Structure 1
Amino acid sequence: MLIKPKLFFSVILLFFILSVPIQGASSQNNIIDMKGTSSENGNLFDLENLKPGDWADREITVSNQSNNAITYDIDLRYIDGSELFYNQLSLEIKQGDTILFHDKLSNFSMITALPLSANSEEKIDFSLTFPAESGNEFQGLTTNAEIVITAYDDTETETSSFPISTDSQTGGSPLPSTATIMFNILLVGGALLIVGSFILLYLLRNKVAEE
């Protein structure tokens, strides 16, 4: 059976009309791509047996895969574990030489509207610290959180999360009690001041008596 030329070309045209939107949707790229330094289990931070003064550095690269500028936000979410320990940890977030945040996690608020040009990328540096002044009340605690980056343009929104898992030192010698150390220093200093004052008064009285 022969197919008429007009019918054949009509079928071909209809096929292209129906297939073009489908192909366009399937070939569309994500607006962002993210990668970062991580531990063996994939967490951005997976820190064990933290001691006061310990810290760790990580970085995340945010890549704009689209042909137009985008905007992204950085958020931090507590998940579970000890809120006391979570609130004690300190975080610094830097974009190049610009410090976006540097304070305890308890004081974090979402960083919004960070611009990223079309087809470009930038690195965000993170430094998580267990403050040196932390005392024994934080010993043996664990906390879990996540850093969430949300990128968006006029039509799309994409979100990526980077887990944080930390626990403080367990067993062994207790964490240093910085409050006790400070009190001892003040006590010794006060005692030396009193002794020095008595010695000075004694010398002055002897000098007056000799004259």
Structure 2
Amino acid sequence: MIKLLRPFLLLLLVSGLGFFPLHVFAAGNDGSEIKVLDMRLSPKDTLFNIANMKPGDWATRTITVENNGVRDFDYHMQLRNTGEKKLFNELVIEVKVDNQELYQGKLSEFQSKLTRKLKSASDDQLAITIRFPEHLGNDFQGLESSFVLTFIAEGKDSKIVEDGAQGIIGSSGSSAGFRLPATSTNLFNLLLLGSVLSISGFVLLLINFYKRMKLAQ
């Protein structure tokens, strides 16, 4: 009788497992829960927070994408503007992994189909650089750009996990190595002052010359 019940009990057990998430039954050596699909970012909240970038400046930050789950997954990145468009449309972003360039171009043209495969218990260290183009002039001083870089992981069972980090780039009131010429310059005043000083010196020389001539007579 017991032998007849064994296949039935085994079938009942397998059927019951289907009603529970797999990660409920996965645990680490310390008793902590191990998820089937688990992506983590470091840092996860703020990646860039720069208030004084100038034309010609750039900044590089490293963000780590970790696969702490029991399954491999594919992930890709999306970038979304969350502030004013003027500076956002001009800033340049570069994304590299192990000196391999994944993307280089404007923030506003960032391609969302940059897919990477990440095995379980491994990580990617992405070097992300934001560049303030040198040709941007006075019109972009005092502006600010904010954006969110979102990472989306997807496993074989089509389960999706999302996480993201934000960036804030502000421009200062002066530029490095490049500045549009000011319309109200002091150059004319300096030239006028130099001319007056030159004429005054010449007049003094003439006066001294005539004084010497009178004394010689």
- Are 1:24 and 2:25 matched, yes or no? yes
Is this contact kept in 1: 2:26–2:34, CA < 8 A? yes
Q: Quick check: 1:75 aligned with 2:82?
A: no
Cα gap change, 1:116 to 1:137, in 2 (>3 Å): same
| Structure 2 gap segments, 5+ residues each | 1-15, 28-32, 184-217
Task: Choose which of 144, 147, 156 in structure 2 pairs with 1:145.
Answer: 147
Residue 172 of structure 1: how far off its partner (Å): 9.6
Q: Secondary structure at the match of 1:44?
A: strand
**1:96-126 Cα shifts (integer Å, max 9, x gaps):** 1210111111221213321112221121110
Q: Which has the larger radius of gyration?
A: 2
Alpha-carbon distance in structure 2 between the residues aligned to 1:72 and 1:171: 39
Contact 1:75/1:110 (8 A) holds in 2 = yes
* Equivalent of 1:97 in 89, 96, 99: 99
Paired-residue identity, %: 26
Runs of 4+ in 1 over 6 A off after TM superposition: none
Cα distance between partner residues in 1 of 2:113 and 2:126:
12
> 8 Å contact 1:100–1:111 — kept in the other structure?
no
Aligned residues: 156
Q: Quick one: distance in 1 between partners of 2:47 and 2:124? A: 17
What CA deviation, in whole Å up to 9, does each residue of 1:50-84 have, x standing for no partner? 1101111111111112233210011110011x211
Structure richer in helix, relative to its length: 1
CA–CA distance in 1 between the matches of 2:20 and 2:105?
49
Displacement of 1:139 in angstroms is 1.0
- 111 and 172 in structure 1: CA distance in 2 versus 1, 3 angstrom threshold: closer
Structure 1 segment 182-201 matched on structure 2, within 5 A: none
CA RMSD of superposed structures (Å)? 2.9
Q: Which residue of 2 aligns with 1:87?
A: 89
Q: State the TM-score, normalizing by the size of structure 2.
A: 0.63
